[in-house]
Amino acid sequence: MAALCRGRYRWKRINCFHVLTRNLTGKYDFDLVVVGGGSGGLACSKEAAQLGLKVAVLDYVEPSAKGTKWGLGGTCVNVGCIPKKLMHQAALLGTAVKDAKKYGWQISGPVCHDWVTMAEAVQNHVRSLNWGHRVQLQDKKVKYLNMNGSLLDQHTVKGLSKAGKETILTARNIVVTTGGRPRYPTNIPGAVEHGLTSDDIFWLKKSPGKTLVVGASYVALECAGFLTGVGMDTTVMVRSIALRGFDQQMAGLVTDYMEAYGTKFAWRSVPKRVDKLSSGALQVTWVDSLTGNEQKDTFDSVLWAVGRAPETKALGLDKLGVQLNKQTGKIVVGADESSSVPNIYAFGDIGEDRPELTPTAIKAGKLLARRLAGHSTELMNYDNVATTVFTPLEYGCVGLSEEEAEMRHGKDGIEVYHAFYKPLEFTVAERDASQCYLKVVCERAGDQKILGLHFTGPNAGEVTQGFALGFQCGATYSHLLQTVGIHPTCAEELTKVHITKRSGLDAMVTGC
């Protein structure tokens, strides 16, 4: 069925035609139309097409306030996980170069980092991923439209191209996976005018220079970490605590390591205004909330990492009665990712109460596609999703924080096994390992089921991923002890942990 049209008048005619057709035949242009081609939307559309459904996906990037734009693939590919992890790697290599001398590498002269070389290489890789996604959609016979989607009714999506061309698509089911975008603070003069967000940092053509990062969660600490690592003078402005929601002992180790690594922290500080000086430098005024004193400093860049917000307004969801959470603006969804309106589904970052992580969006998308295709009834399990913060000292965890476990089970209801360990690779390099730590939070009674597992150290993501399987299988402390370690690794320390916090004994690992 032809659904392409240009002017508003023609669109209305075609829209009426669709409504008529649908009522008569019960048929639609597509079995599934997905609005948003990010991690979740692409996974869902490809899986559905593979299972025989006729699928279209719309993806459209509204440029950032600074004018940054990018290609197909969503946040993770373009302005999230991928460029972030590559820049984190650039920073880790800087540390490795320092270690290398101790290991006998003869490196003459100062070792400098060139932002432009790194940024170009990262951006080229991202572009190759954009291309790869387009090819995959084509191979899997998913129709891709580079259009801004909005919903006209529970079976009809309107696509609007950059040039203003409208396309109407009807579908048996519609999936909304439009993710979120970084927020700017609302009441700080100069914030938008002079500030960057994570939508810009990975696409800068030149080095950001001396940078103030405002915020203290995943995005702020990860960005501040790689900026410090590649040689930028970097300050993190924290208004309350770091890594809210994470185990706070672990959060403290992460920020302690960063401070030792060279990142500066302005604790308990709230920005007030950003002014551009005639020199071009940005003067930031902030208030130290402990003393109430106002302070000023100048920076080359200010990066706002103060959270993300969904773009639900332009989707037309309110007119259709799709229930949104008034505070967050996210779509209220059921366990099967259904919204409050039949045939409209949502998941990923746009879904209320969903983890804002790529693997959960991908898995939820695949499972939803299988259910919509009638191939399965399996629901996504959002419990106990493992995660890693890619700070200079990485932090991986799965399950409950110690605070949360204590709240649920009582202080006497849990046993915490912990260890401070020294990664072997730190020894010859003479690196300080004070923040390399792990803890396993268990139920105290019975088999001592593991409630939470936390690890700071090199390759924390790789370490945590393996243990997440055990966790998913209901591992207990004795399972952990029955597991024979791989020597010499950091991960093996988890299989040997035996000192309880309650005992007050020294948790420092000595010897093999």
> What whole-number distance in Å separates Cα of residue 199 and Cα of residue 59?
16
> What whole-number distance in Å separates Cα of residue 91 and Cα of residue 263?
13
Type of residue numbered 367: L
Where does this chain touch ligand NAP (CB under 6 A) — which range of 101-109, 137-145, 208-216, 336-344?
208-216
Identify the residue among 88, 133, 155, 308 touching ligand NAP (CB under 6 A).
308
Identify the residue among 11, 80, 152, 265 touching ligand FAD (CB under 6 A).
80
Name 8's Cβ contacts closer than 8 Å, sequence gap at least 6: 166
Where does this chain touch ligand FAD (CB under 6 A) — which range of 209-217, 327-335, 356-364, 473-481?
356-364
Indicate the residue among 337 and 356 with the shorter CB distance to ligand NAP.
356
SS3 79: helix
Where does this chain touch ligand NAP (CB under 6 A) — which range of 28-36, 169-177, 234-242, 493-501?
234-242
423 phi and psi angles, rounded to 5 deg? -60, 135
Residue closest to ligand FAD when measured from CB atoms:
38
What is the torsional sign of CA 487, 492, 496, 499? positive
Under the binding rule (CB under 6 A), the answer on residue 240 touching ligand NAP is yes
HEC sequence for 129-158: HHHHHHHHHHHCCCEEECCEEEEEECCEEE
- Residue 71 contact among ligand NAP, ligand FAD, none, beta carbon within 5 to 8 Å by kind: none
Per DSSP (E only), the strands in 215-353 are 234-237, 264-266, 269-276, 282-288, 294-299, 301-304, 308-310, 344-346
Please tell me the chain's helix, strand, coil percentages from 3-state DSSP, rounded to the nearest 5.
35, 25, 40
Indicate the residue among 472 and 476 with the shorter CB distance to ligand NAP.
472
> What whole-number distance in Å separates Cα of residue 369 and Cα of residue 55?
10
- Residue 185 contact among ligand FAD, ligand NAP, none, beta carbon within 5 to 8 Å by kind: ligand NAP
Under the binding rule (CB under 6 A), the answer on residue 75 touching ligand FAD is yes
- Residue 196 contact among ligand NAP, ligand FAD, none, beta carbon within 5 to 8 Å by kind: none
> What whole-number distance in Å separates Cα of residue 415 and Cα of residue 38?
41
Where does this chain touch ligand FAD (CB under 6 A) — which range of 346-354, 395-403, 414-422, 444-452?
346-354
Identify the residue among 151, 201, 216, 453 touching ligand NAP (CB under 6 A).
216
Under the binding rule (CB under 6 A), the answer on residue 390 touching ligand NAP is yes
Active-site residue list: 487
CB of 385 to ligand FAD, least distance (A): 9
The angle that helices 358-372 and 39-50 make with each other, rounded to 10 degrees, is 30
CB of 500 to ligand FAD, least distance (A): 32
Indicate the residue among 198 and 435 with the shorter CB distance to ligand FAD.
198
Under the binding rule (CB under 6 A), the answer on residue 389 touching ligand NAP is yes
Q: Site for ligand FAD (CB under 6 A): how many residues?
A: 36
Identify the residue among 218, 265, 437, 477 touching ligand NAP (CB under 6 A).
218
**How many C-beta neighbours within 10 Å does residue 26 have?**
8
Query: Token match 């003393």: residue?
Result: 291
Indicate the residue among 39 and 156 with the shorter CB distance to ligand FAD.
39
CB-CB contact of 59 with 75 (8 Å): no
Identify the residue among 84, 371, 418, 454 touching ligand FAD (CB under 6 A).
84
Distances (CA, A) of 496 to 441, 444, 456, 490, 504: 14, 18, 16, 11, 18
CB of 184 to ligand FAD, least distance (A): 14
Q: Binders of ligand FAD among 181-240, rule CB under 6 A?
A: 198, 219
Q: Binders of ligand FAD among 121-150, rule CB under 6 A?
A: 148-149
Binding mask 19-38 for ligand FAD (x = CB under 6 A): ----------------xxxx
Q: Which two tokens stand for residue 294?
A: 């106002």
Q: Binders of ligand FAD among 159-188, rule CB under 6 A?
A: 177-179
> What whole-number distance in Å separates Cα of residue 61 and Cα of residue 68?
10
Name 159's Cβ contacts closer than 8 Å, sequence gap at least 6: 58, 145, 147, 148, 149, 166, 167, 168, 169
Q: Binders of ligand FAD among 367-396, rule CB under 6 A?
A: 390
Cβ-count burial 233-264 (b if 16+ within 10 Å, e if not): ebbbbbbebbbeebbebbbebbbebbeebebb
CB of 326 to ligand NAP, least distance (A): 18
CB of 37 to ligand FAD, least distance (A): 5
Give the footprint of ligand NAP on this chain (CB under 6 A): 185, 214-220, 222, 239-241, 244, 270, 305-308, 355-357, 387-390
Give the footprint of ligand FAD on this chain (CB under 6 A): 35-41, 58-61, 74-76, 80-81, 84, 148-149, 177-179, 198, 219, 311, 314-315, 348-350, 356-359, 361, 390
